Structure 1
Amino acid sequence: MAAGPIFSLHFIVFFAWAGILLPFLPVYLSERGLPEATIGLVLAFTPWARFIVNPIVAPLADRRGLGRELIVGMTGLAIVGSALFFLGDPLIALACLLLAVGTAPIIPLGDALAIQRAEAGELDYPKSRLLGSIAFIVTSYLAGVLLDAYGAMTVPIASLVFTIGIALVAVYLPRGRPEPSAQTKNPFASFKILLRPRIGRVLLAAILIQASHAALYNFGSLHFRNIGMSDSTIGALWGLGVAAEVALFAFYPRSVSPVTMIRIGSAGTLLRWIVLAETSSFALIALSQTLHALSFAAVYLGAIAFISEEIEEKNTATGALAAYGGGLLMALMIPFSGWLFEHFGARTFYGAAALAILALLSLFGVHSTARVPAASSQASAR
């Protein structure tokens, strides 16, 4: 099969799975009787898996060209995890652990394979990733409709179906090209780059903003349910956020400097969390979802542009952003957000707002004359 269609199908199936699990796994866990603090502990498996598993798996795939085989094998763990949801409450934590470990490396491995083919002129990588984002938007809404009609068991059923689909599609992905010089990455190696005063302040701001999403990603749907929204409405809100993100990737102003882009994104993040903490108005919450274009896309674009323009160790800097923003700090923030949500409800988002304030303070006095370059793809994580 040609590279373009099979990679497009790979991204479509994976992000269709994510469009169901990201909004609605917390809902399923809540309906199974888990308190919010426990949900936070269980959902923290995912960023821990990113932080620990990905730096081990990715270089193995690079050195031996085993990206396709590792996607199939790791997805096998996710299939087992999805199946365990049907075997009773005592296995829920194990199910979530296997699901987290199994799915954590799929996007980095798939991206690496896709980029190899794109560099060979066999694939339009941004188009394939865009189709994945569209799949997320569609399935997040459809999942909400199905939850309204059939209940929370829709979530494990969909997870099992789509993880099987991911594995089946991965069998037909092209083999990776071995890179014998690739070295195993130490997840702590990138910490040194954060110690450089100016560079560290900019990357720290992006990391703080990324981690501030812990409350929304893991308890946003429960909050929306608590204020009376239907699951179909919740799914539509998630889709709206991703649509806004895609729009900014397509139309962002390239004349804006990276630091300014991060600063604007951080200010938008602060506004977003304050709105969620203070209102139950559907119109204002929908508006806050469009701010995902700033809280995620603008900060991500600014950080990648800053790395591209001003940091020599680009892979190390990008690794720091992923390891500490989407990994370590997110893993710490999710259980804390769960405890806050159990005791304070919507005011949990003030904790997220505090991280946005810290990000803005980190950027105080930092200047940049570089400009944001053209984006080559959609962001690989959210």
Structure 2
Amino acid sequence: MSPGTKIPIRTKAPKRFAVGLAVFYATVFSVTGTYLPFFTVWLKAIGIEAFWIAVIVAAPSITRFTILPFITAQAEQRHALRAALITTATLTALGFICLGLLRGPLAILVVFAITACAWTPLVPLTDGYALKAVARFGLNYGPLRLWGSTAFVVGALVSGVLADMIAPEHLIWVIAATAALGVFAAFGLQPLDAPGTRPAAPVRRVALLRNPTFLAIVVAAGLIQGSHAAYYTFGSIIWQNAGYGGKTIASLWVLGVLAEIVVFALSPRLTIAPSRMMLIGALCAVARWLITAQDPPLEILIVVQLLHGATFGLTQLGMMGLLVRHVPSHVIARAQGYFTACSGLAMSSAAMVSGALFARYGIAVYGLMAAMALSGAAVVLIWRRRLDAPPPSDQPHSSGVGG
């Protein structure tokens, strides 16, 4: 982020605080690292059809714009982010365990939807917890967040090895086991507020939704991140149909996340404006999905996967930088909830449409993803002057997000 007035740093971040947050980030994203590559493979292995797979996978995205904003708002109003993280991590682990006992598509949909109500708030609650630490202690978001991406890599590699060793119908237990680790890590999180801290004066929930700059941020980021829907839903199935084994599929996922990790690690040195980060991410996404739609050979696919560092990593950093710049710190978790709701709406809509298109047109579904990313780029360009404007004089910002 461009140099500017920084939030006053109250004290140096306790080492135990940073370590606990890094470990929890790792467990949260290790679940995603096992879920994304092989949850749909598990569904297919137990006989679930493509239509039902698309509907089931869309469930978390739907909860993001229904239940999730309520949970994040309540957790922040009550100054109970840590308690909310412990509760949601526990319910997530129990939900995945229950899924492993089911086989019918309707039963799986119902239980997974309930599980998603607890699972989907984990990332925005953790990001809100982290951004409060950015504001309070002057921490850098990128180096904290990279531990989540690193754990995603480890989770994907481990599940890839296991996918070649155990029957596909048992992959759900790998996901459940990693979710259980998150419960233990949640108890290691340190309280964010000092004892006796009084809540800030309440801010009307509707205030953020009436801010056009905030809406531009979440819509643009939602479209760009939502353009990953077909990749997250059918990427592994497409690669499996192309004849790639479990290790190759996992390695392709890992390549993308390794690029993401590099971006997060270098974020404190980046001098690119947050809006430009998002624009670069959007244009890279357009190129990525258009190339992927051509069913490229493995050599080209490897290079294309490295664009994930821009399509996800730069977009995420840009969005976080803009939120820290334009959103008061005491409602940052609520802002995270609204963003996740917006991206959830975009992701669920794209996932359900891509399910119908994939059944008929196959890999050409990536053309729709390119159009979504292009729309996100248009929003950034239209609102760029406002996005680049300095924060209000009564709202100092932190340079700790990167850029």
Answer yes or no: same fold by TM over 0.5. yes
- Which structure has the higher relative contact order (CA within 8 Å, separation 6+)? 2
2:5 — aligned with what? none
* Structure 1 pair 27–371 and aligned structure 2 pair: CA distance change class (3 A): farther
Kindly provide the CA deviation profile for residues 298-337 of structure 1, in whole angstroms up to 9, marking residues without a partner as x. 233334444555x467858766543312x22212111111
How many percent identity over aligned positions? 26
In 2, the alpha carbon distance for the partners of 1:131 and 1:370 equals 29
Match of 2:258 among 226, 238, 243: 243
Equivalent residue, structure 1, for 2:393: none
| Secondary structure at 2:48 match in 1 | coil
| Aligned CA distance change for structure 1 residues 244 and 255 (closer, same or farther; 3 Å) | same
* Contact 1:255–1:371 (CA under 8 A) maintained in structure 2: no
CA-to-aligned-CA distance 1:154-209 (integer Å, 9 cap, x gap): 432122212222112222322353653475985x7644444x7xx86665433321
Distance of 2:234 and 2:93 partners within structure 1: 24
CA displacement at 1:119 relative to structure 2: 6.1
**TM-score, structure 1 as length reference:** 0.84
Q: Secondary structure at the match of 1:294?
A: helix
Going from structure 1 to structure 2, the CA distance change for 1:250 and 1:370 (only over 3 Å counts) comes to farther
Tell me the residue number matched to 2:12: none
- Structure 1 residue runs without a partner (length 5+): none
Q: Does 1:164 align with 2:183?
A: no
Give matches, 1:297-308, under 5 Å: 297-307=313-323
Aligned to 1:284, what secondary structure does the other structure show?
Answer: helix
1:4 touches 1:124 (CA, 8 Å); kept in 2? no
1:222 paired to 2:237: yes
Residue 250 of structure 1 aligns with an amino acid whose one-letter code is: A
Q: Can you list the C-alpha shifts for 1:273-321, whole angstroms capped at 9, x where unaligned?
A: 0111102411111111111122122233334444555x46785876654
Aligned-partner SS, 1:44: helix
Structure 1 segment 81-230 matched on structure 2, within 5 A:
81-90=95-104, 91-114=107-130, 126-177=142-193, 180-181=199-200, 190-194=208-212, 204-230=219-245
Whole-Å separation in 1 of the counterparts to 2:145 and 2:373: 28
Q: Please say if residues 127 and 336 of structure 2, whose CA atoms lie closer than 8 Å, have aligned partners that are also in contact.
A: no
1:356 to 369, 373, 376: 373
Partner of 1:376: 400
Match of 2:277 in 1: 261
Q: Distance in 2 between the 1:12 and 1:289 partners?
A: 22
User: What displacement does 1:67 show?
Assistant: 2.6
Contact 1:117 1:123 in 2 (8 A): yes
Sort the Cα spacing of 1:86 and 1:307 in 2 relative to 1 into closer, same or farther, 3 A: closer
Alpha carbons 2:142, 2:265 under 8 Å: kept: no
Counterpart of 2:24 in structure 1: which amino acid? H
Cα offset, 1:127, TM superposition: 4.1
Q: Residues 77 and 98 of structure 1 are in contact (CA less than 8 Å); yes or no, is this contact kept in structure 2?
A: no
Structure 1 partner of 2:43 = 29
How far is the alpha carbon of 1:342 from its aligned partner?
A: 1.6
Change (3 A) 1:270 1:116: closer
Query: Which region of structure 1 is more displaced relative to structure 2, 340-349 or 128-137?
Result: 128-137
